[in-house]
């Protein structure tokens, strides 16, 4: 009870409400890692995220390599085994996390800031980050688990459609393969390859450190220094190749014994920091990004009851991430639903939104801006994105005004240049239509 009452009291005393967006402190560690810090004194906790440019886009021909490497870091470090590492975190209530997508490979720590918890949690986090042992027995188990994971994907129509979508959309580009790899590549991966990958990519210059929590700037500086102290300086990962535009439309049909057909459709969209970002983001918000009130939801769900969920979104990445559309519907309705979805996109590309729709979208995005930043974990995610992709530090501050500046003409113009409704990759995974 003692600790909790103090926490409550602090919450009342130091609360700062109404601040538009958090002030980001930015600096580099001595060995060249970029650090981004936002103080959040209200709760006695700290979130640390370390993101490396070491995702699956760096797999090369060894699909699954980045994810395997990331998954091995807490399996043995500084002579301690998996059990000892897990115990060190959990004894003090700290939460360790690791994950790896196409661009980023992430290690994260959420810990209390009281002395008893903080020092041991940070020490173990530092060890996992900089002194991994890559024990063979653990690797053999991780490899088997990855293979089981790949097998599980085959019983999920949504996983099947996603894999086919990326592979057909990106062709020879590194984004084409799934971070989970494939059976052939994962079976062949060797521990030595993981170690080489770690050495090359888990280096200070290739790292972004994000700190959000109840520490002072001076403490944040020493924490950041400690976290990457064991990493070599290294090099930033090389520029990824450009994504080639699709030359023609393509439809892939995959049989699956499901009662619904999962449809995924799309093409290459935008990169982080893209000049068209705000026009396309706001445009898509109206078309399929605003949940129950989007045009797609209105056409597919509200008017016709064809699908429980229908969406479209841009996933901006280092290079052009996908512009993706999706829905699931009873097998015999797949054709109709796809037609409605495509026609809705075509109509939007040609005519753009109405002035009223644009006003409503702006009201929605800007009127709810504070909701994007109402927790430490959401702030940490935004700051990691800003830091990793090198977006301007005033990105959040200027977000509302950039949204408000978007016009119907700009949306139409951006859609006409960037979205080709007649050159989509379409994947249908489903069963017989009777």
In the region spanning residues 197 to 216, those forming contacts with other proteins, defined by CB under 8 A, are none
Which residue, 422, 52, 10, 353, is CA-closest to 214? 10
Q: Which 3 state secondary structure label does DSSP give 240?
A: coil
- Judged by CB under 8 A, the residue of 39, 157, 179, 322 near other proteins is 157
Comparison of 228 and 286: residue with beta carbon closer to other proteins: 286
Could you give the string, one character per residue 66-85, with x where binding to other proteins holds by CB under 8 A and - elsewhere? Answer: --------x-------xx-x
Which residue, 97, 104, 93, is CA-closest to 125? 97
Looking up tokens 């408000």 gives 404
Which residue, 141, 132, 137, is CA-closest to 198? 132
Looking up tokens 């769900």 gives 301
- Judged by CB under 8 A, the residue of 33, 44, 228, 396 near other proteins is 44
Residue 347's contacts (CB-CB under 8 Å, 6 or more residues apart) are none
Could you give the string, one character per residue 367-406, with x where binding to other proteins holds by CB under 8 A and - elsewhere? Answer: xxxxx-xxxxx-----------------------------
Identify residues 13-42 at the interface with other proteins (CB under 8 A).
Answer: 15, 17-18, 40, 42
- Judged by CB under 8 A, the residue of 101, 185, 200, 331 near other proteins is 331
End-to-end CA distance of the chain: 63
Establish if 253 lies at the interface with other proteins (CB under 8 A). no
CA distance 157 to 59: 25
The token pair at 330 is: 């009873």
Residue 340's contacts (CB-CB under 8 Å, 6 or more residues apart) are 299, 300, 304, 306
- Judged by CB under 8 A, the residue of 256, 272, 412, 418 near other proteins is 256
Give the CA distances from residue 257 to residues 149, 152, 265, 411, in Å, rounded to whole numbers and listed in that order: 20, 15, 21, 40
Q: Which region among 26-34, 122-130, 226-234, 297-305 touches other proteins (by CB under 8 A)? A: 297-305
- Judged by CB under 8 A, the residue of 78, 191, 252, 293 near other proteins is 293
Q: Which region among 154-162, 347-355, 383-391, 419-427 touches other proteins (by CB under 8 A)? A: 154-162
Establish if 119 lies at the interface with other proteins (CB under 8 A). no
Comparison of 59 and 357: residue with beta carbon closer to other proteins: 357
- Judged by CB under 8 A, the residue of 61, 248, 292, 422 near other proteins is 292
Distance of closest approach, residue 277 Cβ to other proteins, in angstroms: 20
Cite the DSSP H helix spans in 115-188: 115-130, 136-153, 157-170, 183-188
């Amino acid at each position: 009870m003692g600790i909790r009452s103090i926490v409550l009291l602090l919450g009342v005393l130091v609360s700062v409400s109404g601040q538009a967006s958090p002030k980001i402190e930015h600096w580099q560690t001595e060995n060249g890692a970029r650090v981004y810090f936002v103080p959040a004194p209200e709760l006695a906790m700290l979130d640390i995220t370390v993101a490396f440019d070491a995702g699956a886009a760096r797999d090369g021909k060894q699909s699954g390599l980045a994810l395997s490497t990331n998954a091995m870091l807490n399996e043995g470090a500084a002579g301690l085994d998996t059990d000892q590492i897990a115990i060190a975190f959990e004894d003090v209530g700290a939460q360790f996390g690791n994950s790896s997508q196409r661009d980023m490979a992430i290690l994260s720590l959420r810990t209390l800031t009281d002395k008893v918890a903080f020092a041991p949690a940070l020490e173990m986090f530092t060890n996992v980050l900089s002194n991994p042992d890559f024990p063979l027995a653990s690797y053999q188990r991780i490899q088997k688990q990855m293979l089981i994971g790949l097998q599980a994907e085959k019983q999920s129509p949504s996983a099947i459609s996603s894999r086919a979508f990326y592979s057909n959309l990106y062709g020879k580009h590194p984004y084409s393969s799934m971070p989970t790899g494939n059976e052939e590549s994962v079976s062949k991966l060797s521990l030595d390859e993981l170690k080489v990958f770690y050495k090359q990519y888990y280096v200070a210059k290739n790292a972004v450190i994000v700190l959000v929590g109840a520490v002072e700037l001076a403490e944040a500086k020493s924490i950041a220094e400690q976290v990457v102290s064991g990493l070599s300086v290294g090099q930033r990962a090389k520029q990824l190749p450009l994504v080639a535009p699709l030359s023609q439309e393509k439809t892939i049909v995959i049989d699956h014994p499901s009662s619904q057909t999962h449809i995924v459709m799309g093409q290459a969209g935008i990169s982080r920091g893209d000049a068209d970002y705000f026009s396309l983001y706001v445009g898509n918000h109206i078309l399929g990004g605003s949940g129950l009130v989007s045009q797609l939801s209105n056409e597919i769900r509200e008017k016709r009851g064809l699908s429980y969920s229908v969406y479209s979104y841009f996933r901006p990445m280092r290079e052009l991430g996908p512009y993706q559309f999706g829905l699931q519907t009873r097998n015999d309705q797949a054709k109709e639903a796809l037609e409605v979805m495509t026609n809705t996109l075509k109509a939007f590309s040609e005519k753009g939104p109405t002035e009223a729709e644009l006003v409503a979208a702006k009201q929605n995005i800007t009127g709810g801006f504070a909701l994007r930043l109402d927790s430490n974990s959401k702030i940490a995610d935004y700051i990691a994105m800003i830091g990793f992709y090198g977006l301007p530090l005033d990105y959040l501050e200027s977000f509302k005004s950039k949204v408000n500046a978007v016009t119907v003409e700009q949306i139409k113009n951006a859609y006409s240049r960037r979205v080709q409704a007649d050159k989509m990759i379409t994947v249908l995974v489903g069963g017989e239509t009777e």
